Amino acid sequence: MDRIVIGSASKGGQISISFDSSDLNESVKRVDIAVQVRDHLLERLAAGGART
């Protein structure tokens, strides 16, 4: 498995994505989902924080 980190801990957080680089379609899908999750979290935090 390979790994990529998106973002910066000091600038809004980071997400680590594990993927198999030999499967391009699955790798792209995992990165796209991780970016969507990070964007959603940042929106929630900007709106007053995440509530459980």
- Tens of pLDDT along the chain (52 residues) come to 899 987 888 876 788 899 999 999 999 999 899 889 888 888 888 888 656 5
Q: Judge whether 6 and 14 are in contact, CB under 8 Å.
A: yes
Amino acid 9: pLDDT = 81
Amino acid 7: pLDDT = 80
DSSP per position, 23-34 = -HHHHHHHHHHH
Q: Judge whether 21 and 2 are in contact, CB under 8 Å.
A: yes
